[in-house]
Structure 1
Amino acid sequence: MPVKTYASAVFGIQAITITIEVNISGGTKYHIVGLPDNAVKESMLRVEAAMQSCGLRMPRQKIVVNLAPADIRKEGSAYDLAIAIAILAASGQVAADKLEQYLIMGEVSLDGGLQPVKGALPVSIQARNDGFKGLLIPKQNAREAAIVNDLEVYGIESLREVVAFLEGDTAIEPTIVNTRDEFLRDINNYESDFSEVKGQENIKRALEIAAAGGHNVILIGPPGAGKTMLAKRLPTILPPLNLSEALETTKIHSVAGKLAASDSLMTVRPFRSPHHTISDVALVGGGVNPQPGEISLAHNGVLFLDELPEFKRTVLEVMRQPLEERRVTISRARFTIDYPASFMLVASMNPCICGFHNHPSRECTCGPGMVQKYLGRVSGPLLDRIDLHVEVTPVDFNELSSSRYAEKSAAIRSRVMVAREVQEHRFCDRPDIHCNAQMSPGLVRTICAISEAGQLLLKNAMERLGLSARAYDRILKVSRTIADLAGAEEIGNEHLAEAIHYRSLDRDGWAG
């Protein structure tokens, strides 16, 4: 009679329960069916060695292992433990009466120990949704899985321990994590602060606007001007994650295997800074076994691209659609996976190859046309999707050596949160929109209405700078955010003028 255990397969950031059926009959061969990949097929060798190491017996008969539903491809080594328990139950070495109560996941080592698996959080959520009493999972994944309420999560160290637990020979205390306490304890746990940045008040102002409206920003300036230092401190002024955002962000990092054993819940906004040699698949996600890319790992946080023109053109161009739709769709012949990708893009670049174009004290050594050629490495359509173009100038000695008080991130964040609250109220009937940067063109026309004087100001700016229709919308969105920070009901000319000022790369003569 077949014995059933239950495991889980992760697709995107969701999980599907997999039923593992084992039948033992006369014969000598092992068979695994149900669309297993090579890692799953190899599990029989790992399972056999683990059983021998734990003093258990691998049946010398025909063993058929079926992974249902059979039309879904099973990948990875996380099914090892469930297969091993099903074989032991089918051969009478483990009682089968408790198996239907638990979902079992884990990679088995040759000595019977368990190795961690990816996607413990979505697996745990699905186990609760399917009505399982508990989850048996490697101890390294226990805290991550235990943030799900109404599910007993048992951190297991070895195959022998699982057998003893199912037989009732040993009691294992479930791992308990107080999700809300864990969330609130580390919500403001940042190692850096804006108070460490001397001078650059105009750049801080631009980043405050970007944080308040969720806008993308590019910093252009010479080497050593503080572009990277400023960008790394942007998460410290963003509003704290709410619990829903923290869970969604943790799921993505869980699927990618980026959570440490000591982590249970991501409580601060992610900051991802890939090197410029990254491939397009690594950035947006995909591969033979699709995994989330850097833009999904930056979901609800910041994606920082340092030295933007050094990235391959194909890598930058694949970001254009995710920047608009805030998600990534990876399509294969048999399935399609959606990964969320709602992130703030922060890019930095030198103004030219030597880095000193428009420098106040050093002369640019680039030849004629080289500045335009260097800037041309970044396409116009991508720059159109970046709301704020900010020119960063070097900090002089007097500012660097000054002991004058610099504003802390907490003070800037408080203003940002007030502006975000205004936007949450504004979009209360639109659950898919949380900040000004996410407005559709239709909403922009409704919410970002401007006076006749403002229309004339914007018309002159567009004609002089040659701005696109997308840039027109971006200016209106930024001006709405500036007005929100100022507590203004309507967009004034001063708000529009400041928003137009943040289009440095569009200004005539900027590149020589």
Structure 2
Amino acid sequence: MLARVTGCTVAGIEGKMVGVEVFLSSQLPSFDIVGLPDAAVREARDRVRAAIKNSGLEFPKQRIVVNLAPADLKKEGPQLDLALACGVLSASSQVLIGEKGLAILGELALDGALRPVRGVLSMVLAARDAGLKKVLLPLENAGEASLVGNMEILAARSLEEAIGILHGGQAAVPPSARKMPEESAATDFAQVKGQAGAKRALEVAAAGGHNVLMTGPPGAGKTMLARCLPSILPALGEAEALETTKIYSAAGHLKDHAFLITQRPFRLLHHTVTEAALCGGGRQARPGEVSLSHNGVLFLDELPEFRREALEALRQPLEDGEITVTRLQATYTYPARFMLIASLNPCPCGLLSDPTAECICSAWQVQRYRQKLSGPLLDRFDLFVEVPRLRFEEVTRTEAAEPSREIKKRVEAARVRQRQRFVQEVITHNGQMGPRQVEECCRLDAAGRDLMRHAFQRLNLSARAYDRILKVART
């Protein structure tokens, strides 16, 4: 007997619909799965067999052949366990699956309990786009799935409950979708002593979504300034929040499987990060740090200490807003539009630009240190900020500096104006402008053109640097 059910899997961060076809024949008992299953899907045979028996049902003593369609799509992860079990039970006439607009997903434990899976938001969105109306899944994933509108969420705790729902029983009440709790910023700009120029640069960067490179001696406050940046960034819009949550769901980073991320991500990386961890990929394709920073901030402290191949890999996402990862059996494209904030010392000892201390580095050491950063990478920064060592008077000053909440008001006002400017475009702020938008929105008068001509010739600027100067000026 042949049975068909609809399951889901995740490819990169996108959900993909999978047709699960189960055929029983009167031959020696066996259980075969075809259609490019990975190890986790092949191992589902044992989980499904044990879960069916431990749920008080009969596992058919026949030859079972399961085809996962489309056959050219690699199926990864345990998301298909529940669909496989329902297909086997339907083919053996133990379960009647009458609804065609139903997607089934979830991992099975050996005792028949349902376990949550990653990527639920992506899979439910794919099911809705495919015209399906209902989805049957583990209770722990129901809150996340409820973020998708126009879908009926059927939540179950076990295989037994799932079968009851298919027979018309009552589904478990899913928890309502919850927002990620807002974490108070660890550092407020009011706590930063001095550094008025650097604060102003970060405010401009936050308003326009520009990349910043801070240079200064150790202890000047570069890391502290970067940690303050999230406190002045506006909250994610509805579409941005859903997109960011989708990425974190596919990566398995959602807390309790029921949160909507509303605060912009801030990712601080250690200099030992590998290219694969930064860009994504691996044996089971997962989003990397550049994608986890999407719609937020990626902070690289002590930039020259990072591996050169990792830094050079940033060039594509900084330019295109996405990263393409090619692996043996597939190519994945992840969104990666983020603000890059980086810091470095002027030399290995850090004292080259310090007027109060003597640098002990040789000219060769300084040159070798700076050569770790390529010209094309530096060309992708919009703002270069000097962060000098604080004077004693600045360190001991007791007057309160401007708090982050006041700076944030100006940033939000600037973002509103930019959204109005780009209301007919797919971009939302100045840092995302392409050549056409720069030409339309950043027109120079005669005096400005003369100034840029002298700067272009004297500073030997590239065309990319010229465009980035205009974007910052527009902000």
Report if TM-score (shorter chain) is over 0.5.
yes
**1:152 matched residue in structure 2:** 152
Unaligned runs of 5+ in 1: 482-512
1:309 offset after TM fit, Å? 0.5
Partner of 2:79: 78
CA distance in 1, matches of 2:169, 2:315: 58
> In 1, distance between residues paired with 2:402 and 2:153?
44
Q: Report the Cα distance in structure 2 between the residues aligned to 1:220 and 1:42, rounded to whole angstroms.
A: 52
Report how far residue 205 of structure 1 moved.
0.2
Does residue 250 of the first structure (1) align with residue 245 of the second (2)? yes
1:135 is matched with: 135
SS of aligned partner of 1:453: helix
Distance 1:130 1:412 in 2: 44
Partner-residue secondary structure (3-state), 1:112: coil
Residue 52 in structure 1 maps to residue 53 in structure 2: yes
- Counterpart of 1:468 in structure 2 is 462
How many equivalent pairs are there? 474
Displacement of 1:354 in angstroms is 1.1
Tell me by how many angstroms 1:251 deviates: 0.8
Post-superposition offset of 1:376:
1.4
Aligned-pair distance for 1:391? 1.1
Question: Relative to structure 2, which stretch is displaced further, 396-405 or 5-14?
Answer: 396-405
Residues 368 and 332 from structure 1, CA distance in 2 versus in 1: closer, same or farther, beyond 3 angstroms? closer
The 3 A distance-change label for structure 1 pair 204 and 112 is same
Question: What is the distance in 2 between the residues matched to 1:57 and 1:226?
Answer: 67
Alignment-derived partner of residue 311 in structure 1? 306
Query: What secondary structure does 2:264 align onto?
Result: coil
Identity value in percent: 50
What is the aligned counterpart of 2:399 among 379, 399, 404?
404
Distance 1:213 1:17 in 2: 38
1:268 to partner: Cα distance: 0.4
Asked if the contact 2:89–2:95 (Cα under 8 Å) also holds between the matched residues in 1, the reply is yes
How far apart, in 2, do the equivalents of 1:229 and 1:157 lie? Answer: 46
Q: Distance in 2 between matches of 1:64 and 1:20?
A: 10
SS at match of 1:356: coil
Query: Deviations 1:381-400 (Å, cap 9, x if unpaired)?
Result: 11111011111123344433
Q: Distance in 1 between matches of 2:175 and 2:267?
A: 30
Are residue 97 (structure 1) and residue 123 (structure 2) matched? no
User: Which range is displaced more, 459-468 or 314-323?
Assistant: 459-468
Distance 1:249 1:262 in 2: 14
Q: 1:190 to 1:136 in 2, by over 3 A?
A: farther
Once residues 170 and 351 of structure 2 are traced to their aligned partners in structure 1, the CA distance between those partners, rounded to angstroms, is: 69
Q: What residue in structure 2 maps to residue 387 of structure 1?
A: 382
| 2:120 is equivalent to residue 120 of structure 1 | yes
Distance 1:162 1:446, change over 3 A: closer
**Residue 332 of structure 1: CA displacement?**
5.2
Pairwise CA RMSD: 2.2
TM-score by length of 1: 0.87
Q: Which amino acid aligns with 2:122?
A: P
- Change beyond 3 A, Cα 1:243–1:171: closer
1:9 matched to 2:12? The reply is no
1:138-287 pair list within 5 angstroms: 138-168=138-168, 171-177=171-177, 190-261=185-256, 263-287=258-282
Contact map agreement 2:154 2:171 (CA 8 A) in 1: no
Shift of 1:171: 4.2
Distance 1:362 1:138, change over 3 A: farther
Q: Distance in 2 between matches of 1:138 and 1:364?
A: 61
Shift of 1:200: 1.7
Match of 1:2, as an amino acid?
Answer: L
Asked whether the 8 Å contact 2:13–2:286 carries over to 1, the reply is no
Partner of 1:69: 70
Structure 1 residue ranges, 4+ long, deviating more than 6 angstroms after superposition: none
Measured after TM superposition, the shift of residue 11 of structure 1 is: 2.4
Please list every run of 5 or more consecutive structure 2 residues that lacks an aligned counterpart in the other structure.
Answer: none
Name the structure 2 match of 1:426.
421
The Cα offsets for residues 227-276 of structure 1, whole Å up to 9 and x where unpaired, read as 11211221221222110111111111111111111542110001112221
Matching residue within 333, 344, 353 for 1:358? 353
Deviations 1:323-360 (A, max 9, x none): 11111223457654321111111111111111222123
1:155/1:229 CA distance change after superposition, 3 Å: farther
In structure 2, distance between residues paired with 1:112 and 1:224: 56
Q: What is the rounded CA distance, in whole Å, between the counterparts of 2:325 and 2:468 in structure 1?
A: 28
SS in 1 for 2:241: helix
Q: 1:56 to 1:398 in 2, by over 3 A?
A: farther
TM-score of the superposed pair, with normalisation by structure 2:
0.93
Q: Tell me if structure 1 keeps the 8 A contact 2:276–2:288.
A: yes
SS of aligned partner of 2:259 = coil
Assess, with a 3 A threshold, how the Cα gap between structure 1 residues 380 and 425 changes in structure 2: closer, same or farther: same
Alpha-carbon offset, residue 464 of structure 1: 3.4
Deviation at 1:194, TM superposition (A): 1.9
Give the conservation status (yes or no) of the 8 Å contact 2:114–2:138. yes
Contact 1:274 1:305 in 2 (8 A): yes
